[in-house]
Amino acid sequence: MANKRKPSRHNQEKVLFVLMGLIVIGLIVSGYFLFVRKILPEITTQNQSEQQVATASQTQQTGTASPEEFIPADEVHTLKIYFGEKGKDYLVPEERRVRKRAMLIAQAHQIVETLVEGPASPTLHRIIQEGKALRGLFFESGVFTVDLSREFAAVSNLGAAEQILSVYSLVNSLTELDPRAKVRFLINGSEPAADTGHVDLSQNLTRIDDLMMSGS
């Protein structure tokens, strides 16, 4: 009976190398899945948390609020919005960091929406009250036309100072985009009456810098 041939040393080494290769590949694949499924999500979560903390810290330091949680530096645009200060008869600017908009009318929408949202600083107060919704906003021939809901007509019932500040918080904020522009008001799509209150809303209004806090 013929003797069985024993595997040569060369063949044994080949088998050993193949097994070692398979083990190495297995370790690499296992490490990859461990990194993707566990380590990478933890790193991402940590970075997001640090970013949110930094944003919150910046908001506290500057006294401004960011409508969007994170905006890349090259997309940031700063708006100057005017609010009333409690117990004062002038307007105070508050800067807001928002995402850049290419169109002037898009920036104007941001301003009006921010005015309705109200100030971030506790020392300031909302001039345009909630409920006075923006129905439309247009810009043509140097004039911003702002169409507000009928609740805005109630400003005619306010005292002189409060009515003037309510109207010009919007006028002065919008004309930050173009100081030469004028602002025209519509109430529910119609021209306001000429004899309502202390400000003639039937006229196109221009900004009044004297209403702003000295140094603004």
Whole-number CA gyration radius for the chain: 32
Considering Cα of 159, then 161, then 162, then 164, what sign does the dihedral take?
Answer: positive
d(C-alpha 81, C-alpha 85), whole Å: 13
Show the tokens assigned to 79.
Answer: 């708006």
Would you say 56 and 66 are in contact if contact means Cβ atoms under 8 Å apart?
Answer: no
d(C-alpha 200, C-alpha 164), whole Å: 10
Return the pLDDT at 68.
Answer: 44
Return the pLDDT at 2.
Answer: 52
Compute how many other C-beta atoms are within 10 angstroms of the C-beta atom of residue 167. 25
With a threshold of 0.75, does the pTM exceed it?
Answer: no
The tens digit of pLDDT for each residue in 172-199 reads 999 999 999 999 998 888 888 766 667 8
Report the relative pairing of strands 91-99 and 76-85 from DSSP bridges.
antiparallel
Strand ordering across the sheet containing 182-187: 134-140, 143-148, 182-187
The tens digit of pLDDT for each residue in 102-135 reads 788 888 988 888 888 888 888 887 766 665 577 8
Residue 216 has pLDDT above 70, yes or no: no
